[in-house]
Structure formats: structure tokens, C-alpha cells
Amino acid sequence: MSVNHYKSLGSRVFDTLNIVLLTGLALITVLPLLYVLAGSFATESEIATRPFFLWPEKFVTDTYEYIFGTGTFVRALITTVCVTAVGTVVQVMLTFTMAYPLAKRYLPGRALVLNLVIFTLVFSGGMVPTYLVVRDLGLLDSYWALILPLAINPFYLIIVKSFFQELPQALEEAARIDGCSEMGVFFRIVLPLSKPIIATFSLFYAVGIWNDYVSPLLYIDDSSKWTLQVLVRQLTSADAENALAQLDSVFFPAEGLKFAVIVIATLPILLFYPFLQKYFAKGVLIGSVKE
């Protein structure tokens, strides 16, 4: 007989309520996304007359043709992709290279540095002092202003440090006996064993950079250097018409344009996640066991 046969009435009711609740939460999450996607392919009149729909009456691609035919949007998309790619590599490397020595208990001054890292979790310099630092470093209107101020997340750093501390010391000692330097141990032993956590925090950093619109608003004055998220914010704000008119000489007055830009800004991250998902389920030491 099946296991479900032995479940009590209360257990079955609990499972049913869980399914209903989780299904409702899933619909609340997915339906707005489907509405935005459908609206990006709908006509202007349909968007104005139908308050909510999941399937447009007539599929049109006018908004996407306009987006990819306008230099402003293409430039913002390329800028966002490049900043995200470079920023993710820089931030992951800086985080891991700082976390590795902090994982060594014999490191002189380790406790002081860790206390300073923990201090930044509670207190920060604030927006104005950070802006002044970026300005004095000459990073205003530079893409590095979108990468370096947030190069190391202290919370991520502590997690990566704890991960390194759990790695078997015998592997590192064996590598040193074979003649590996400290850098050789890090790049040849530690990093290959860290693929799951590298993939995880690469995704976290990439999503953070991709979705960031505060930093470009603060540090980038040149509209030609705007990222996609800033463009989305300008288009969906109350002053969207004036914002878009300033960006391009040709103005396309379509509500569907807002939906299409949101889809383009969201889709890359949704497509990127499945390629890294396989690393999340892997064991921490799978490389040392099988290879």
C-alpha cells in the first residue's frame, strides 16, 4: 500500500493547504511577468482598452523593432552587458582573493581585518561620503564607478571565508609538499574545488550589477553612458516622455515600449540562471572526491 494511505486527515489537510498557498504565491509572482510579456507584443490600443490580459489579441513587434533600431537602447544594452561581465569578474576575484588569506588562522592581523569587515556590515559611510570618495578618485562618469565602490560585499566575503575554512587542509599541505606556492595552491587546488560557490556568488554579483540603477544615477552624468536599468527607470517614471525625448530625437509614444524594455532588462538574468543551477546542487568537495 502507498505511503499516502497511512497519512492522517490532518496531514492531508495540511498538504492541501500548502499546495493551495504555494500555488497562489506562484501565480502572484508569475502573472505580472506574463502580463508584461504579453503587453510588449500588444498594440497600443489594446493596452489602453484592456486593463489586464495574458495573451494579446494581435501580436506586433513594433516596440522591439524600435528598441533594436534605436542607438540609445542598443548602446545601453551593450553597456550593461559589458559592465556586468567585467564587474562580476573583478568582484568575484577580489572577494575570493581577500577571503582566502582571511581563512588562515595564522595570518597576522587577521582578527583586526575581520572585525573591520564585520563593522561594515553594521555601519557604512553613507551615500554622500561614498560619492565624495568616488569624485576624489576621478571615477565620476566612468564605468569603474559602477564596479569598484561595491567590489567586495562583506557578507559574501564572510561566507566565502567560512567555505575556505571547511576545505581539507590535507589537500593544501599535499600541494605544498609537491612544490606549490601559496598562489599555486589557491589557483590549482582551492579554486577548482570552489566551482559551486564561485558560480553562486558570480550570479549574486551579476544580478546586483545588472539591476543596479542607483550607482549610474549618482556617478554617471553622460546619458550616452547610461545602463539599461537607468533607461528603464526613466521610461517608467512620471516624466517618461521628457526623459525619452532627451535621449533620442525620435519619440515613440507607446505604452508597449515600457513593457518591452522591462522584458529585455529581465530576460538575460532569467536565461543565465539555468546554466549555473547545476553547480548549486553539487557537493562542496565533489572535485576532490572524483578527480
Q: Which residues contact 228 (CB under 8 A, 6 or more apart)?
A: 73, 76, 77, 79, 80, 261, 264, 265
**How much is the pLDDT for 182?**
83
Amino acid at the residue 198 = I
CA 111 – CA 102 distance, rounded (Å): 9
Long-range contacts of 278-283 (CB under 8 A, 24+ apart): 279/195, 279/196, 279/198, 279/199, 279/200, 280/196, 280/199, 280/200, 282/195, 282/196, 283/196
Q: What is the pLDDT along the chain (291 residues), one digit of tens a residue?
A: 455 555 778 888 888 899 999 999 988 988 888 888 888 888 878 888 888 888 888 888 888 887 787 778 888 889 999 999 999 999 999 999 999 999 888 888 888 998 998 898 888 878 888 899 999 998 888 999 999 888 889 989 998 898 888 888 888 888 888 888 888 888 888 888 888 888 888 888 998 899 888 888 889 888 888 888 888 777 776 555 555 555 554 445 467 778 888 888 888 878 877 776 666 555 434 433 444
CA 103 – CA 113 distance, rounded (Å): 11
**How much is the pLDDT for 129?**
87
CA-based R_g, the chain, Å:
25
Instruction: Name which of 138, 151, 158, 125 is nearest 212 in CA terms.
Output: 151
- Tens-digit pLDDT profile for residues 274-284: 776 666 555 43
**How much is the pLDDT for 290?**
42
Q: How far is CA 248 from CA 27, 72, 231, in A?
A: 37, 7, 12
168 close to 242: Cβ distance less than 8 angstroms: no
Q: Look up residue 207 and give its three cell numbers.
A: 544580478
Instruction: Name which of 114, 109, 210 is nearest 160 in CA terms.
Output: 114
Q: Count the Cβ atoms, other than its own, within 10 Å of residue 216.
A: 24
Q: How far is CA 225 from CA 76, 128, 197, in A?
A: 7, 22, 32
Architecture of domain 71-238+266-289: Orthogonal Bundle (1.10)
**How much is the pLDDT for 104?**
87
